[in-house]
């Protein structure tokens, strides 16, 4: 019941502030502002749901110079994550607001959006609002709700916690990574989500990353394992 009240309040909030210059098209058909798109899957930890089949149509007379999107994870199953791609860039899942904008002129269709949902084997129903808006006038917006229904399969997937360690943090030249699963790939992103380092074909439980070329600041490390799990951690380069 609590989730129902939250859903109603969020719907009323977005309906009150939203205008309808832009129409969301899902699977080839226009949907109403605030409608729900449903994505069903089983709890395969390697599964990635593509929030695709989404197109935008500018049905108004306004030419947008800084159009963008963001997400509101108002009821996300713990351990799951959603990442968005917009204007040719993909941001890591800890970004709710895309730092990129694009032009979107009157009468045009826009295809350069998609998102990815990963459950990592966690079962349940998640709701995420995907909001498209004018960066120069955020109240000019439209949104849809993505519903992810992850059901239990016959495979029991054990979700392991606290198995990823990185040190030292802060680090100067070398960042060490330890897991109890084999590391296959490591990517490092800066604070706005751009990839700045990568290391592939590792296949070790422990590895060291040379970060001496990075400038001082905060970064995020993405660690992929041979059992299809992905870990994110923040670190500081001294």
pTM of the model: 0.63
Range(s) for CATH 2.60.40.10 in the chain?
Answer: 2-151
CATH annotation of 165-237: 2.60.40.1220
SS3 32: coil
| Fold of the CATH domain 2-151 | Immunoglobulin-like (2.60.40)
Q: How far is CA 222 from CA 13, 117, 237, in A?
A: 35, 16, 15
Q: Is 201 exposed, middle or buried (0-12, 13-18, 19+ CB in 10 A)?
A: exposed
- Predicted confidence (pLDDT) at residue 102 exceeds the cutoff of 90: yes
Range(s) for CATH 2.60.40.1220 in the chain?
Answer: 165-237
Mean pLDDT (the chain) is: 82
pLDDT in tens, 8-30: 455 445 444 445 589 999 888 99
pLDDT in tens, 155-165: 333 334 445 78
Q: How many CB atoms lie within 10 A of CB 177?
A: 22
**What pLDDT score was predicted for residue 160?**
43
- Predicted confidence (pLDDT) at residue 70 exceeds the cutoff of 70: yes
């Amino acid at each position: 019941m609590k989730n129902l009240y939250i859903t109603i309040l969020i719907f009323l909030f977005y309906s009150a502030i939203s205008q309808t210059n832009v129409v969301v098209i899902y699977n080839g058909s226009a949907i109403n502002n605030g409608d729900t798109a449903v994505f069903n899957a089983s709890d395969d930890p390697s599964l990635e749901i593509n929030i695709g089949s989404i197109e935008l149509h500018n049905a108004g007379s306004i030419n947008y110079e800084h159009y963008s999107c963001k997400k509101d994870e108002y009821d996300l199953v713990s351990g799951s994550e959603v990442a968005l791609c917009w204007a040719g860039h993909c941001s890591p899942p800890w970004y709710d607001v895309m730092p990129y904008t694009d032009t979107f002129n009157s009468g045009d269709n826009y295809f350069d959006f998609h998102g990815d949902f990963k459950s990592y084997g966690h079962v349940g129903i998640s709701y995420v609002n995907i909001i498209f808006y004018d960066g120069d006038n955020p109240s000019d917006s439209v949104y849809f709700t993505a519903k992810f229904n992850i059901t239990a399969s016959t495979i029991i997937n054990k979700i392991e916690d606290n198995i990823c360690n990185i040190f030292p943090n802060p680090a100067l030249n070398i960042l060490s990574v330890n897991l109890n699963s084999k590391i296959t790939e490591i990517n490092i992103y800066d604070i706005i989500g751009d990839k700045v380092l990568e290391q592939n074909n590792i296949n070790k439980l422990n590895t060291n990353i040379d970060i001496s070329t990075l400038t001082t600041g905060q970064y995020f490390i993405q660690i992929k394992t041979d059992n299809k799990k992905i870990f994110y951690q923040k670190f500081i380069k001294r």
